[in-house]
Structure 1
């Protein structure tokens, strides 16, 4: 038992370190782009990257959740994993057929040809293939292979993308680098394919996974449109500067998302283990402490970014074009803090096979939040972009939390959120006093 715990801890640390290192490289690459590219070119990069992320999302959205739901029922897990790969291929083909023409239609001012859009789409699909393989082999507890799949292809994409943008000063070159990295990774996989699970032709199982995945596809789509996907709305309502600023700040905010995800990856297994013991009081007691720690850490990191950013901008003139963004940062970072109850409550929906209910609540809150966000952008102008981001996440958290509270007697755990928001407010006040912003 002790050996198993030590092994789990070892791989848990390996996942966290490898993910943090890879995302850290990506963060600095995107920050470099924000500095060297013009406002117009960086805004174009943001829109193209937003498209890239929705293709990645759709390629495997809901498949993992469907597989987890079938694990207890399916005796032959190997066939189940092969079926999941087949569904991935099907979703990827649909992505190619739908997203390429749709992107050309919704982004008319783009100078990209169909070939270029196809290249972005293909690169996204191939890269998400390795991410998906990482998820699947992790379910088989092949943790080392999982880390290899999730770490090296994206890292190679960042490196090649950075090099091509560095030499060409054109944002589209990044997606060429990602495509090259994906092909190189596939070539390497060919020689080590003995670790590859393979595919299934079982029509019955494929239909079952597709049907089960639908609620999660809807949830993932709204998560995208209320994140990077909003760049298209901003592009329609505002100018290139606001698009570039949103992409820049959203990239910075990814640091908080990384921290939150890492902490949630620690908490979720503990949640499921305690839940199996049917000890809901123990879950809520431990989470009460966890939420305070999580809120404080996210708040402190966000506050540090707010305080340090004016200093960084004063040393690197290329970032001066993004000045005066402290209040925007507050609402953007605050959005992650008000998501803490959502992250916890969704575990109840997943373990209780309430994916459809979670989808319905998410659809209702996302639609209402999206309308509110658009209204705020229209009436409040630039600050409405970030205020709307904050409130749409708050609405989603409240609706999912209060429904879950009635159904499963979930306790009120908003202390971490309030503590984190308080820390962010202190940082904004500090900047106002010191820098006079």
Structure 2
């Protein structure tokens, strides 16, 4: 009998995670972590350096090259109260993350505000020391209140600086809340993949943190090919599932950015195995398929409507071959004279999901009762319990700075 993901109860995806099993700091060597190797029901303990040998020789690895921005800003009110502003997503003058990070002089973002009740209507100001040792100024005003956040207006001097410059200078790294510690200077390097390029994430695609230049050299020596996509990881990745049944859970939306060349490489690699590094790469790949399905149904869809709703995979009867869906995407980009696909995805991948492009996954160990654990369960079924019980019994480190796994169902 087919599983209805809307009827899933999140309490069925709980497991005991002792606080001491959460890796609070990374290992000194990125690639020194353990690797749990799951293949067709068998579990083996390996080291991450063995990954190139364990991957299928004809695999294509897909990496998310998003870059974490220092999205937390702290301001002082005249009264002495500290106001924290956590930048979530751009609103004006650009909603596109790549463009928003290049804005100069001013912009408006959707933000979480800590201590909001203490912030009246006044403008808050922060003096910032620039790389040339001159002093700049960042000002913020509180605009509209939204359901769970605020619109915040930013202005700064010198006006020639980009918003990316401002965050890099004045911001603080947004470590995951479950680490329960302040970010260190070292985290600026360690909580970033070595291949991070596109600024805009507020959380790292942590499965990629294990990859070092030596690992990439070993992959090249094995002739294992790779490509990069971009999904800007939002704060919603840490959003707990509060609904008892998944039907009531509103999945967060995230922006994806994929070149036509990358889509063409995926198309040419079929039907050989495509293995994403991390759940964000996996969500990007599967979202590409469903965007192609949408374009087969509505070839003249405007670019701003390229959005994958969370339940689309479970509510449509149209399931073309992956090659047909990717070809529809390429044809659309060519017709629109676009070199890159920009879209938003709310896709929720849970038991009952039929994978279209993906044949495995490199990933860390995720929080109990999380949508990321639902995704792992969708891939390897009820064996997720055996995998997690084995990891707990064998001293694996959990969550963002923890150990890794290679899951080949």
- Larger helix fraction of residues: 1
Instruction: Answer yes or no: same fold by TM over 0.5.
Output: no
TM-score range for the pair, normalised by the shorter chain length:
under 0.3
Structure with more contact order per residue of length (Cα contacts < 8 Å, sep ≥ 6): 2
TM-score of the aligned structures, taking structure 1 as reference length: 0.25
